[in-house]
A and B are shown apart, each in its own frame.
Chain A
Amino acid sequence: MGAVLEPGERAMTGHSNGGAGVPTVRVDHLRKLYPVGGAFLRAPKSFIHAVDDVSFEVADGESLGLVGESGCGKTTTAKMIVKLIEPTSGSIQVRGGDGEAVDLSTLDGRGTKRFRRSAQMIYQDPYESLNPRRTVLDTIAEPLVVQGLGSFAEREEHVMAIMAQVGLTPVRNYLLRFPHELSGGQRQRVAIARALVLEPNIVVADEPTSMLDVSVRSNIMQLMLDMKERLRATYVYITHDVAVARYMCDRIAVMYLGKIVEMGPTEEVLRDPAHPYTRALISAVPVPDPAYERPRVEIKGGIARPIDPPKRCRFFDRCPLASKACEDNDHPPLTARGSDRLVACYNA
C-alpha cells in the first residue's frame, strides 16, 4: 500500500505517537432539530428533536456502537460526525489523520475536503449507495480522483490492492464490472473498499450488514473487523441489532428518541442492562436457540416521533418503571454507574 498516499502521513495519527488520552471523536451537547409544519415566509410551529443533547467520546482505535430502533437518531448523529449534515447546536471535534483535533463547524470547503480523507462513511444499502453506471474500478478510485491523488496508473494499482484486501478476488474479474453484475455481498465489499481507499482513521458504518443475507453478513462483519485492525481505525458503528453490536463494538450507546439512555462496554450492558428500554431491546432480539427462555420485558405502546417532546423522560409513556419523578422532571441526565457505565433513568 501507500503507492498513492504520501509516506509518513499515517504516522502522524495518534495510533503511533502522541495524543494519548485525547479522543478521536468528541461530541458535545449535539442537537439536530428538523422543522415541521410552517410554510413560505412563515416560521415552523414545531420541531422534530432528532438528536437532542447527545455527548460522547470515541477513543483512538475504539469501536463505539450507536444502537436503537428507527427514529432514535443514530443515523442523524452518524451523518453529523462525517459532516454530511450540520448540527443545530453543539460541537463535534475530530482528530484527523494529521493528529490535529478540529472543530467540524470551523471547516470551510477546502477543510471539509481535507477532512474527508480521514473520515468516511459506509452505508446500509449496497444497492442504493453505488452508482449503477460506474465500474468497480471507477467507483473505488473516485475518492482518490476527488482528492487529486496519484496518476491513473498509481490509482489503479492502489484500487487493486484494496480490492484484494476486501476479498474482491481475483481482482481482474471484478475491476470492470458494474454493480448489477455483483451480488449484495460483493457490492458491500465495493462500498467498503471505496470508503477505505483513502485509509481513513475514522469510519462511520451505518448498518452495513442489515440488508445482507445470513452467511454474507458474517463475512462482511469479519471484513469490517479485519480492516479496522489493518487501518488501526476508529469506528462508529450503527446498528439496531445488539447481537451484531456484540461482535463489532467495544462500547455501545443505546439511543431512544434522540437521547442516549445508556452507555457502557458492550458485554457488560448486554449482561446487565440498567435502563428499562435497553432491557426491552435486548430481550426482543431473537436468540438462535429454541430452548432459550427469555426474560419477558413488557413495554407499552409504540415508538412516537419526538415532535416538541414534553419536559419529562422521553421513555415515560412506555416505561414499566415510570413514576411521578419521571413525569415531573426533565429527561434524566446520564449519570455514572460504576466506573465506565452511564444510565439516564430516575428509577433504574
Chain B
Amino acid sequence: MTDPVLQVEGLSVEYATEKGRVHAVTDLAMTLEEGEAIGLVGESGCGKTTVALALMRILADNGQIVNGKVLLDGVDLLQLSEEEMAKRRWSGISMVFQAAMNSLNPVQRVVDQIVEAIEQHEEVARSDAVERARELFDVVGLDGALLRRYPHEYSGGMRQRAVIAMALACSPRVIIADEPTTALDVLVQDRILDQLKEIQSRRRMAMIYISHDVGVIARVSTSVGVMYAGRMVETGPAHAIFKRPIHPYTEALLASVPSARGPRRPLRVLGGDPPDLIDLPPGCPFAARCSRVQERCRTEIPPVVRSESQWALCWNPVNAP
C-alpha cells in the first residue's frame, strides 16, 4: 500500500460565538489514497463544510483549529506559515465551492482569473497559461470561446464548470468539492458529475466530495464518511456503507432517502434534531434520536467498532462490523 495523500488526525475545530464555543468538528480522522474519492455526508450543521475550510485553512475569523494534524504528502499543513500554505492552495489542495458566482470575480474575464491562479504558483509564460486554461475548459466541457467572457455571461452550469476548471488549474493532489451541483438542474448535474468523476480518476487525484444528497454521494464516491454533530460516526468503502451500515444514524439516513429506482420501499422518518453544538451531550451525540439507544450511550462516548475496512463509533451497532 502506498502512503496516503492526505491524512487527517484528531482534527477539532471550534467557533467563538456570543452564546459560547461551538464545537463544529470534534476529533475527526480521515485518510485519502491517490485516486480515492471520499464522500462526506451528513445533515446541515454536521461540520462537513467546516472540515473543508479547515483543510484549506480558510476558516472564518471566529473559527479556530484547536487540535489535530492535516498531513498532505506527509507535511502538516497546520504547521506551515501563511505564505507556505498559500503556495499549497490550488496546487496541493484546492476547493470548489457551492456558490460558483461567489468564487468568480464578476469584473474580470474568466481567462484572466484562471491565468492569474496559474501564475501565482508557477513560472509560466502567459501564452502557456492561456493555453492551459483552454485545455482545462475543454476538459470540463466548456467552449474555449467562453474564456474571454465575464462570469455573468455564463449560465449556472457553465459557471460551476469554470470554477471546477479553475480548481484543477494547478493540478492539485487533493480537490475538495462542496456541494458543487446542488443548485443545478438534474441533467446538468448529471453531466458535471460524470466529468468531475472522469477527471478525478484519470488524474488519480484524491477527492473529498461534500453533499447531503445521498444519491450524489453514491455516484461519485469510492468511500464514504458519515458525519454527525461534528464527528465522523462511520466510514468505509461506499458499497459496504450503503449495503451494510454499522451505525444506526447511517442506516436511518440512508432509509430516509427516496429513490427513483428499485422497489418502492417505505421512507423512514428520522425525528428530532441534532444536539446543540455549544452544549454537547456527554455520550453519543446521536443518542437522543437513536432507536437502539442504551443507557451508557447517553453518558459515555462510544468506542470504535471496526472491520477490516469499515468502522463506526457506536455502543450498539445495527450490523456487526
Q: Which residues on A are within 8 Å of B, measured CB to CB?
A: 69-70, 183-184, 213-219, 221-222, 240-244, 246-247, 267, 270, 280-292, 294, 299, 302-303
Contact = CB atoms under 8 A, between A and B. Distances in A.
Contact of A267 (B253, B264, B268): B264
B146 to A, nearest CB: 13
B269 interface: yes
B185 A70 contact: yes
A219 B215 contact: no
B260 A243 contact: yes
Given A221-B258, A288-B257, A290-B238, A247 B267 contact: yes
A219 B252 CA distance: 12
A70 to B, nearest CB: 6
Nearest to B266: A247
Nearest to A209: B258
Contacts of A213: 43-44, 212
Contacts of B273: 183
A302 B188 contact: yes
With a 10 A CB-CB cut-off, give which of B43, B254, B269 has the most chain A CB atoms. B269
B295 to A, nearest CB: 25
B268 to A, nearest CB: 7
A270 B252 CA distance: 25
With a 10 A CB-CB cut-off, give which of B187, B193, B257 has the most chain A CB atoms. B187
Interface residues of B, number: 41
Nearest 7 CB-CB pairings of A with B: A286-B215, A284-B190, A218-B256, A243-B260, A69-B185, A243-B258, A215-B270
A68 to B, nearest CB: 9
A162 B155 CA distance: 42
B282 interface: no
B29 interface: no
With a 10 A CB-CB cut-off, give which of B190, B193, B258 has the most chain A CB atoms. B258
Interface in B151-189: 155, 157, 185-189
Interface stretch (B71-79, B216-224, B311-319): B216-224
Contact of A286 (B43, B216, B239, B253): B216
B242 interface: yes
A218 B270 CA distance: 8
With a 10 A CB-CB cut-off, give which of B214, B243, B256 has the most chain A CB atoms. B256
Interface in B279-316: none
Contacts of A215: 43, 252-253, 256, 270
Nearest to A287: B261
A215 to B, nearest CB: 4
Nearest to A318: B187
A221 B257 CA distance: 11
A309 B25 CA distance: 52
Contacts, number: 118
Given A286-B193, A290-B242, A302-B155, 13 more contacts: A69-B186, A214-B214, A216-B43, A218-B256, A218-B268, A221-B258, A241-B258, A246-B260, A247-B267, A286-B189, A286-B215, A288-B254, A290-B221
Contacts of B253: 214-215
B185 to A, nearest CB: 4
Nearest to B255: A218
Given A214-B43, A219-B270, A222-B267, A289 B212 contact: no
Given A218-B267, A222-B267, A291-B239, A244 B258 contact: yes
Nearest to B191: A284
Given A242-B260, A280-B187, A218 B215 contact: no
A214 B212 CA distance: 6
Nearest to B156: A70
Contact of A281 (B186, B254, B264): B186
Contacts of B44: 184, 213
25 contacts: A69-B187, A213-B44, A214-B212, A214-B257, A215-B43, A215-B256, A218-B256, A218-B267, A218-B270, A221-B258, A222-B267, A240-B186, A243-B257, A246-B258, A284-B190, A286-B218, A288-B214, A288-B218, A289-B259, A290-B218, A290-B242, A292-B218, A292-B261, A302-B187, A303-B187
A289 B218 contact: yes
Given A242-B260, A281-B186, A289 B242 contact: yes
A45 B226 CA distance: 54
Contact of A214 (B190, B256, B260, B264): B256
A292 B270 CA distance: 25
Contacts of A247: 258, 264, 267
Contact of A284 (B155, B186, B214, B258): B186
Given A218-B270, A243-B258, A281 B252 contact: no
With a 10 A CB-CB cut-off, give which of A242, A281, A289, A303 has the most chain B CB atoms. A289
B264 to A, nearest CB: 6
